[in-house]
Structure 1
Amino acid sequence: MSERRETRSIGPDERRARLAVRHRLAGSARAGTAEEVAGALVALHATDPATVFLAAGARLAAGRDPVAEVERALYEERTLTRMHGMRHTVFVVPSVLAAVVHSSTADAASARERATLVRHLAAGSDYDEAWLAETERQVLAELAARGEATGTELGAAVPRLRAQFVYGVGTNQEGPQSVSSRILRVLGMEGRIARGRPQGGWTSSRFRWSLLPAHEDLPPAEARAELVRHWLAAYGPATEADLKWWTGWKVTDVRRALAALEAEPVALEEGPGFVLPDDLEPVPPLDEPWAALLPALDPTAMGWQSRDWYLDPAHRAPLFDRSGNIGPTVWWNGRIVGGWAQRADGEIVWRLFSDADVDAGAGRGNGPAAGLGTGLGKDAVRAVEAEAARLAAWVGDVRVTPRFRTPLERELSA
């Protein structure tokens, strides 16, 4: 009989040391390319287009232009792909992982989305599946001829996209709805078309659409195990609940993927967790203080369901909206210690939390006076100031307003 190995405990300090390096946040760990950033985080939240660029900018080494770097990868070389993925959310993922995300997550979601659209069309119009299939054929043919097109341009070229149906028949939500956005959404979720370069700048969500080559169909269980392997390498240790929340899968699928990987159990403050089999060696404390200004919906801030090891529960209210979306955050040595925003004149403003914030729930201003009294000290304030200056330098004249506004972000930007 083999000797039973004692379960290793991994505390918050070690988790923060892992996060600093693996998420490319410590100065010495910063990345040289947008692909490296996306690969380190598995997927960049892309519901708000600005998040992709701001998340990359916070992690790229000095001298790299975040806008040019992300646009090169997304639109020129296509080594990054914008697609629907976990929790029905739009992400930017390394293109080499696109098939894994499709087969593990997006395919099942797109099948449900298509079935829902067919049901709504049947209830609120005379359009059937044959009509839908012909409309999609015309859209794909138009994109093949054009190369890329906006939704408006496709609507002008394919009259069927201008058709409407009655949504929510017999409910208090009943009303006319265009088929255009629904059809493009289904085709996007199925990986047949993708959002390309937008009209306007990098904060715009008015995307052009283009065709995607057919993705490889992987066995779903195999794809789920592969996605979890990448995720645990970046976010481990983590709990079943963390992984279930991040993926949106059933708990049985999470457990099967962990079992397929032979993930090693570890003990965390919040309960049992897991790491990859080759990731049990202790990670020493990072002898490098670091600060970061991360955007709303940043993958690090949104990476785990249980966040007490990097966010004081008393500071949640000002940082999240009512749907659970996190706003812009200030980090110091692996903890969220405040929030930031951009004002209408372009100034980057920030505030570090103090005990008074528990009652106030929001803050104002930035600078040393706002940081002192928090127990963080002048080094933290100077580091945050440097990060704010770095962010302001590359953002330039662009104004960034998060799609999901949070109490502290609203307060600071006012």
Structure 2
Amino acid sequence: MHVIDDAQRRVRLGRRHLLAPSGRVSSAVAVADAVVALHATDAATVFLSTCARLSEAAVETVERALYEDVSLVRLLSMRNTLFTVPAGLAPCVAASNAHAVAAKERRSLLKHLRDDGNGLDGEWLTTTEREVLAALAARGPATGIELSAAVPALRTKITIFPGKKQEAVQGVATRVLRVLAADGRIRRDRPRGSWTSSQFRWTVSEPWPARHPAEAQAELTRRWLHSYGPATEADLKWWTGWNLGQVRKALTASGAEEVGLQNGTTGWVAAGDAGPEPEVEPWAALLPSLDPSAMGWADRGFHLPAGHRAALFDRAGNIGPTVWWNGEIVGGWAQHANGEPVWRLLSDIGRDATTAIEAEASRLSAWVKDIRVTPRFRTPLERELTA
């Protein structure tokens, strides 16, 4: 079996994830296409991940793709997580992941409505959804607060987990809007405030064209293996949230080929993609919390030294901002109160690498300006650096 070692995997990461300077592109869509999907749980991550890979980093480039051209779209999809993907890939992601997530979200909300005991049911939800869509059609993009003012049903409170230790009272507005968005009937529009804000306006959308789920899973697997291969079954299972049976069927249907990995396990690459990757020039990167290059695999041993994990991850397993050198995570970074990047190296990488990291920090400062980004998921090193 052909073996792809860790050094070659790091070369692939640098080239295919557009992190080497020679690989940078001018289009936000091209960035998302290269990494398949950008984590969007934290609004700032989409901008930071994209601009790290643009030849000319600019907030306006990303905003234009998200809100004017709508060539990048957000979907609640893999692992029940919010991602931003190219509009052309959205039907595939919807059929392979998002539709199942939407059905689960709807079942969960209906259960909470029934358990509340106030007579709320599926008919109530259908009527409320219709009123939300009518309000958006009449007034244009609106925040959840504005929609709650226009649609009284959204101001309804329900008790979730009644009689249990985790019992709580919550409003239904967020849950109803989440279900509508998961179904593809509304989408997030421009936020209130800056590009770091998660207070989005909502606007009417159209559900994505239907695709056969198994075919969509095979296509998504091909795309993912090109960007992240070689990778294991466990990596694909973790990234997609599929069960092992779905993973194995998708690998077979995609035509994936087996290869050996340096640690002795079996990996997979896209059909015909087992050959050597051309070398890239030395590169450094400052990537944000939840960047796809750090979150693409369940086993990140080929680019993340085990001793760095405690400083760079929160208790839930979310990775914070990272410093990279030639395909390996070598430290973490944060911002001072004025927005200037500050970092700490966890590996001894030499003066040339440090100079390259300094240049990337300057490039980051030039487009972030005085905006202060605080990751939603705080990690030990990020907290220390901002203290």
TM-score under structure 1 normalisation? 0.92
**Equivalent in the alignment of 2:247:** 254
Q: Which of 45, 68, 78 is the aligned partner of 1:86?
A: 78
Find the residue that maps to 2:294 and give its secondary structure: coil
1:29 Cα offset (Å): 0.3
**Per-residue displacement from partner, 1:19-56 (whole Å, max 9, x unpaired)?**
11100000100011101100001000000000000001
Higher deviation after alignment, 262-271 or 288-297: 262-271
The total of aligned residue pairs comes to: 385
* Identity fraction in percent: 58
Residue type of the partner of 1:123?
D
**Equivalent in the alignment of 1:140:** 133
The answer on 1:108 being equivalent to 2:100 is yes
| Superposition CA RMSD, Å | 0.9
After TM superposition, the structure 1 = structure 2 runs for residues 262-281 of structure 1, keeping only pairs within 5 Å, are 262-270=255-263, 271-281=265-275
Q: Which of 285, 299, 305 is the aligned partner of 1:306?
A: 299
Higher deviation after alignment, 326-335 or 207-216: 207-216
After TM superposition, the structure 1 = structure 2 runs for residues 189-338 of structure 1, keeping only pairs within 5 Å, are 189-270=182-263, 271-286=265-280, 288-338=281-331
1:284 Cα offset (Å): 3.4
Residue type of the partner of 1:170?
G
The answer on 1:412 being equivalent to 2:373 is no
What runs of 5+ residues in structure 1 fail to find an aligned partner?
Answer: 1-6, 355-373
The answer to whether the Cα contact below 8 Å between 1:13 and 1:285 also exists between their aligned partners in 2 is: no
Find the residue that maps to 1:81 and give its secondary structure: strand
Residue type of the partner of 1:85?
S
**Per-residue displacement from partner, 1:192-223 (whole Å, max 9, x unpaired)?**
11111100000000000011112111111011
For residues 85 and 279 of structure 2, what CA distance do their matches in structure 1 show? 30
1:317 Cα offset (Å): 0.4
The answer on 1:40 being equivalent to 2:13 is no
For residues 225 and 66 of structure 1, what CA distance do their matches in structure 2 show? 34
Find the residue that maps to 2:292 and give its secondary structure: coil
The answer on 1:153 being equivalent to 2:146 is yes
Find the residue that maps to 1:177 and give its secondary structure: strand
For residues 136 and 79 of structure 2, what CA distance do their matches in structure 1 show? 28
The answer on 1:347 being equivalent to 2:340 is yes
The answer to whether the Cα contact below 8 Å between 1:195 and 1:209 also exists between their aligned partners in 2 is: yes
**Per-residue displacement from partner, 1:341-374 (whole Å, max 9, x unpaired)?**
00112221011114xxxxxxxxxxxxxxxxxxx1
1:113 Cα offset (Å): 1.1
For residues 339 and 105 of structure 2, what CA distance do their matches in structure 1 show? 40
The answer to whether the Cα contact below 8 Å between 2:183 and 2:207 also exists between their aligned partners in 1 is: no
For residues 59 and 283 of structure 1, what CA distance do their matches in structure 2 show? 19
For residues 302 and 66 of structure 1, what CA distance do their matches in structure 2 show? 24
**Per-residue displacement from partner, 1:202-249 (whole Å, max 9, x unpaired)?**
000000001111211111101101111111111111000000000000
Residue type of the partner of 1:406?
T
The answer on 1:129 being equivalent to 2:102 is no
**Equivalent in the alignment of 1:392:** 365
